Amino acid sequence: MLGVIGGSGIYDLPGLENAEWKTVESPWGTPSDQVRIGEVDGLKVVFLPRHGRGHVYSPTDINYHANIDVMKRCGVTDLVSVSACGSLKEELAPGTFVLVEQFIDRTFARPKSYFGNGCVAHVSMAYPVSPRLIDHVEAAARAETLAYRRGGTYLAMEGPQFSSLAESHMYRSWGCDVIGMTNMPEAKLAREAEICYATIAMVTDYDSWHPEHGEVDIQAIIKVLNDNAHNAQRLVARLARDLPREHEPCPIGSDTALEYALMTAPDKRDPALMAKLDAVAGRILNR
């Protein structure tokens, strides 16, 4: 089952057959919105607008835990994040789709794990993106003749303010390619939930480092957002049509990330936390 989380500018997913908005409750609180569940050529697709319809949640205020949890409860096995971002590289012009493979997490005001006191777990984040899922995303981008680049590092900042000039130059010196505010802790939580994850980072503008662009221009961003949204819908539709109807095992173990991750002895685990983890960690807890 394919899940799609839509970022800024993407609050619906046209083209779904037999689609309906559905409320899915989560023990982790209220997700950003209802989920829109439908089909594309027989493949079930679940869509969630990350900021809510009408863009009501800032990056810091998004309930990432609930969002990933409801995706898991809906049966999502492969999750694509479609996210607006700024460019840190000259060659990544506005309108380019970057198929990110790595992240640097600079957020600081968000809880980042489903685990902690009551049940400790450690999952590997060395390779946060499922390469097989990215293969399918790339094939869809190529088929739709979209401007894209595979690979690169996404710098996740806290926001909601954009970066200062000094910060922008620092992130460039680190070798980062794009900068955004929402893919962390989303990618970490998807990994803990054993969902294969991939990011389509849609470049809206150059970050403040660029000498010819200077300050981030919100009006210019909105225009590119609208153009990107149309192309993103084309890309997701193609991905859904071409995605194999049987889930393929992830070569980096995204779908088995909890196999040896839980550290707390069963008799020391908090029952209340275990109840909340029924979907996220159900494969491990129920066997």
Active site (catalytic) residues? 205, 207
**124 in a labelled binding site:** no
221 sits in which H/E element: helix 218-242
**197 in a labelled binding site:** no
Report angle CA 213, 215, 216 to the nearest 5 degrees: 90
**81 in a labelled binding site:** no
- Report the C-alpha gap between 255 and 253 in whole angstroms: 5
Question: Which residues make Cβ contacts (< 8 Å) with residue 200, sequence separation at least 6?
Answer: 80, 81, 82, 83, 97, 98, 99, 137, 232, 235
**205 in a labelled binding site:** yes
Q: Which residue has the tokens 């607006």?
A: 84
SS3 144: coil
Question: Which residues make Cβ contacts (< 8 Å) with residue 258, sequence separation at least 6?
Answer: 121, 123, 192, 194, 281, 283, 284
- Report the C-alpha gap between 174 and 35 in whole angstroms: 37
**84 in a labelled binding site:** yes
**83 in a labelled binding site:** yes
**265 in a labelled binding site:** no
271: nearest Cα among 122, 121, 120, 118:
118
Q: Which residue has the tokens 């710098």?
A: 155
**50 in a labelled binding site:** yes
- Report the C-alpha gap between 102 and 87 in whole angstroms: 15
**191 in a labelled binding site:** no
**255 in a labelled binding site:** no
Binding site membership: which residues?
A: 8, 50-51, 83-84, 181-182, 205-207
Binding site membership for phosphate: which residues?
A: 8, 50-51, 83-84, 182
Binding site membership for substrate: which residues?
A: 181, 205-207
